[in-house]
Amino acid sequence: MKNIIIASTSTIHGSGYLEYILDDLKVLFKNANTIVFIPYARPSGISHDDYTEKAKMAFSKIDIAIKGIHKFENPIEAINNAEGIFVGGGNTFVLTYQLYKNNLINSLKEAVSIGTPYLGTSAGSNICGLTIKTTNDMPIVYPPNFNALGLVPFNINPHYLDPDPSRKHMGETRETRIKEFHAYNTPPVVGLREGSWLHVSGKSITLKGKLSARIFEYNKVPYELATGTSLNQLK
């Protein structure tokens, strides 16, 4: 049975790394002593070691150990034997490229499908969708394709931002970019605002956090979904 938290971000304003969601992580990883951390997305170009240390500090607050996947001789075995998995944020293209390079896509799908608890933040959440086509990131490397893990039957846009009429920025809004996506693609897109997350338990998908999510369906007017609401209707 799937047991997943898909979080828009690792950090909200005024809070430390993962601090706003630690209570939920205690529950998600209640049976795990050590979690395999995948630091491939490398936010700001941080090294795998430095990124892993950041994750270690956060999880030490709930008495869970972290080991970076780059420290294992066989990363596939690491996923197959993992008590829990955390995929951190950063650049989604870099993350996807490394997952394909290390042949981890199928291993991750299988591990999560049999109940290995999974946490994704930002880029680690992007890859939970059908494809990475709705990421906000620059394509600084090119993965073999844009197909992701498909742990949920829609795409995700983490860090979703609403238009701000008080600003002078004249570039595309997130909503505009998602409309462009739907000119060529039909899957729904969930715009996850900062501090919001999806909890997947078995076949149930529920929006959590204090804010609503913006839902985009092909050939439909975008709409808001209140926190605590099921997303099972999206497909």
Mean pLDDT per 10-residue interval, the chain, length 235 residues: 96 88 97 98 96 97 98 98 98 98 98 98 98 97 97 97 71 90 98 97 96 97 97 92
Burial class (CB in 10 A: 0-12, 13-18, 19+), 130: buried
User: Alpha-carbon distance 135 to 157, whole Å?
Assistant: 6
Contacts of 101 (CB under 8 A, 6+ apart): none
Q: Pull the structure tokens for residue 85.
A: 């998995």
User: Alpha-carbon distance 119 to 87, whole Å?
Assistant: 6
Q: Which residues are catalytic?
A: 122, 137, 159
Q: Look at residue 235 in the predicted model and tell me its pLDDT.
A: 83
Each domain of the chain, given as residue ranges in start order, spans 3-225
Amino acid letter, 164: D
Which residue is associated with the tokens 């409309």? 179
Q: Look at residue 172 in the predicted model and tell me its pLDDT.
A: 80
- The CATH number of the structural domain formed by 3-225 is 3.40.50.880
- Alpha helices, DSSP H, located in the chain: 22-28, 48-60, 75-80, 92-101, 105-113, 123-126, 174-181
Torsion of CA 225, 231, 234, 235, to 10 degrees: 160
